[in-house]
Every structure is written in structure tokens, then in C-alpha cells.
Structure 1
Amino acid sequence: MKIIAVDNLNREYIADKHILGGIPNASEHQAKAQEFCDWANSFGCSDFYGMFYRVVENDYRLSRGMEDLI
């Protein structure tokens, strides 16, 4: 599992950000990762304006923003 930040407005030209990887695939670790995402999303704690934190599988392909469009 990993935590990523995606654009809040789902704009195709904004790249996803990898925040934290290597989260074990156990329910207690997933719950803590989701708790962090919920906390960060509720307070707007983001270095990246307009980003939404979420937990995804390790094989999730991050959007590269404009690189994917060109």
C-alpha cells in the first residue's frame, strides 16, 4: 500500500504525488494509513495546494500530469 496525493479537481495536467510507500498490507496498517489521510484531508494539511490524500495499492500507476498528455 502507499499514500498518494491527487488533484482535488481531477485536472489531467496535474501530476499525482507519492507521499509514503511500503505500507504493509495488513488491516491495522491500512487503517492507520487511512486515518492519516482522513486527518490530512480534514485539516487541509497539504504542501500541494488542492490535493487530496488517499491510500492505494502498490501497483497503482501515478499520473504524470502533462507528461502523460504530450
Structure 2
Amino acid sequence: MKKKIIGATFVVAIAVVAAFNLNLNKSNAKADLAMSNVEALADGEYSQPVWNIYNRPDGTGYNCYKWGEKICF
């Protein structure tokens, strides 16, 4: 009787570890896909300048507007 309880506990422990590892692997696949999407969005779509730069009248910097001829960072 004692051997059956120990054996059943061992089988349950193996099943729990296997289920945990399976769930962990699925989470990593989703995280990798999400990271790929973020990297694709961060790359940008334009390979040419697309900004107009206008200096502020008070001289404190500049404003950028889309669809121009310069790069604005």
C-alpha cells in the first residue's frame, strides 16, 4: 500500500512538471512572436526623409511636420 502511494505521488509529480514545461514553452513562443512584431514596427516603413522642419520664432528649437524633404529626430 505504501509503495502504491509513493508511486502515485511520483507519477503526479512528473505530470505536473511536464505540464509546467509545456506551458512555459508555449509562453516563450508567444513572447518571441510579440518581440518580432515590435521589432518590425520599430524598423519603420520609409527609407527616405519625410519631414519638413520649421524653426520656432523664439529660437528654442524646431517643429517637424510630415511629408517633407528632411530627416527629423
Same topology, TM > 0.5:
no
| Bigger helix share | 2
Higher relative contact order, structure no. (Cα contacts within 8 Å, ≥ 6 residues apart): 1
Larger Rg: 2
The TM-score, its normalising length taken from structure 1, stands at 0.27
| Bigger strand share | 1
The TM-score, its normalising length taken from structure 2, stands at 0.26
